[in-house]
């Protein structure tokens, strides 16, 4: 069965789906997006992703294209039509179509809404998590509003390509003070040499990861202390464990940085446990 996309009010075969060449998302990256993991055909961390979508849209003055309730129905219908149980749902909302001119269109245009659904091979993801992945480091070169989930992702694209060419799966951006901000499409964590969980605080110029937020909740419930304090690549290399979080990676153990092993170069026990706990929580609260 071919994939089905939602484009501005219609479900269409994905191979035929299109938006105007004057869509501002296409011309200016004047658009935001969200990604939900799907467990058993249900949206993981629904509240967190909807809240962040509304915030991202608000920060760039695009109206919610429909109510949260209506959007939920459309997202779920997209999932149903694609018959995907384990996967990802991608939503993009742009400022709409208008003759190319940098400021917002004088006559407001309706936002463009695109939804796609893709399947994920969970067995393959579990095998990858059991082995752990490598990350590289790369200088931070993004704009100052990484808290907005915009489709302007060129630095992330280039960083992740660099990672792939180095045989790694993620690139950790390092700011001018030498601290890791986050990954190209994930948040970064370590269990430091003293055994403390550490991740960058959200006052820094990073995306407020929804998986990160849920995992902080899980950690609180487990009585695990978290230090939201920046760490450097050397801290990561001296750490006991490391991992990344995101709707795509869930909680994924990191076993090397720039080709050098963390600990014994194997997924750590805490990262492995947190992956299981996160997945349990996401399944129990999916919508
Ligand atoms: N940081 C960046 C730059 C991302 O692109 C993403 C996800 O795409 C994340 C962090 C993780 O966010 P979430 O857990 O909401 O998927």
CA of 33 to the centre of ligand 1 (A): 11
SS3 199: strand
pTM (predicted TM-score)? 0.97
Residue 109 CB neighbour total at 10 angstroms: 16
- For the Cβ of 186 lying below 6 angstroms from any atom of ligand 1, the answer is yes
- For the Cβ of 246 lying below 6 angstroms from any atom of ligand 1, the answer is yes
Q: Is the separation of the CB atoms in 50 and 213 below 8 Å? A: no
Q: What are the boundaries of each domain within the chain? A: 4-120, 125-285
- What gap in Å lies between CA 27 and CA 287, rounded to an integer? 34
CATH architecture of 4-120: 2-Layer Sandwich (3.30)
Active site annotation includes 160: no
- For the Cβ of 150 lying below 6 angstroms from any atom of ligand 1, the answer is no
Pocket test for ligand 1, best of 152, 154, 218, 246 (most atoms within 8 A of CB): 246
Closest Cα to atom 10 of ligand 1 = 186
CATH topology for 125-285 is D-amino Acid Aminotransferase; Chain A, domain 2 (3.20.10)
- What gap in Å lies between CA 143 and CA 139, rounded to an integer? 13
CA of 194 to the centre of ligand 1 (A): 27
- For the Cβ of 211 lying below 6 angstroms from any atom of ligand 1, the answer is yes
154-196 pLDDT, tens digit each: 999 999 999 999 999 999 999 999 999 999 999 999 999 999 9
Closest Cα to atom 7 of ligand 1 = 185
Position in ligand 1 atom list of the atom nearest CA 182: 1
Longest Cα separation, the chain: 60
Position in ligand 1 atom list of the atom nearest CA 146: 3
- Position 156 scores a pLDDT of 98
- Position 211 scores a pLDDT of 98
CA geometry: angle 235, 256, 231, nearest 5 deg = 20
pLDDT per residue of the chain (287 residues) written in tens, 0 to 9: 799 999 999 999 999 999 999 999 999 999 999 999 999 999 999 999 999 999 999 999 999 999 999 999 999 999 999 999 999 999 999 999 999 999 999 998 999 999 999 999 999 999 999 999 999 999 999 999 999 999 999 999 999 999 999 999 999 999 999 999 999 999 999 999 999 999 999 999 999 999 999 999 999 999 999 999 999 999 999 999 999 999 999 999 999 999 999 999 999 999 999 999 999 999 999 99
Phi/psi of residue 101, nearest 5 degrees: -165, 130
The burial class, CB within 10 Å (0-12 / 13-18 / 19+), for 204 is: middle
- For the Cβ of 207 lying below 6 angstroms from any atom of ligand 1, the answer is yes
DSSP alpha helices (H): ranges in the chain? 24-28, 46-59, 68-82, 122-131, 154-165, 210-221, 233-238, 269-285
Of these residues, 76, 149, 160, 283, which one is catalytic? Answer: 149
SS3 24: helix
Closest Cα to atom 12 of ligand 1 = 209
SS3 240: coil
């Amino acid at each position: 069965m071919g994939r089905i996309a939602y484009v501005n009010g219609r479900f269409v075969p994905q191979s035929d789906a299109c938006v105007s060449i004057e869509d501002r998302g296409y011309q200016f990256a004047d658009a935001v997006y969200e990604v939900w993991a799907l467990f058993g055909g249900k949206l993981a961390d629904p509240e967190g992703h909807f809240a962040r979508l509304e915030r991202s849209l608000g920060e760039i003055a695009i109206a919610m294209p429909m109510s949260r309730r209506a959007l939920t129905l459309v997202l779920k219908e997209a999932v149903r039509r694609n018959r995907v149980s384990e996967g990802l749902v991608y939503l993009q909302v742009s400022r709409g179509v208008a003759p190319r001119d940098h400021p917002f269109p004088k006559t407001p245009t309706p936002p463009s809404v695109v939804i796609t659904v893709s399947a994920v091979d969970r067995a393959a993801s579990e095998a990858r998590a059991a082995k752990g992945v490598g990350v590289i480091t790369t200088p931070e070169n993004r704009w100052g509003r990484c808290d907005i989930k915009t489709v302007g992702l060129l630095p992330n694209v280039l960083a992740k390509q660099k990672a792939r060419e180095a045989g790694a799966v993620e690139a950790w951006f390092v700011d001018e003070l030498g601290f890791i901000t986050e990954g190209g499409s994930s948040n970064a964590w370590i269990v430091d040499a003293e055994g403390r969980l550490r991740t960058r605080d959200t006052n820094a110029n990073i995306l407020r990861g929804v998986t990160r937020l849920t995992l902080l909740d899980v950690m609180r419930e487990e009585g695990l202390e978290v230090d939201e304090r920046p760490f450097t690549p050397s801290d990561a290399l001296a750490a006991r464990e490391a991992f990344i979080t995101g709707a795509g990676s869930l909680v994924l153990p990191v076993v090397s940085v720039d080709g050098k092993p963390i600990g014994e170069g194997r997924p750590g026990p805490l990262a492995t446990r947190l992956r299981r706990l996160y997945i349990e929580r996401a399944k129990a609260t999916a919508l």
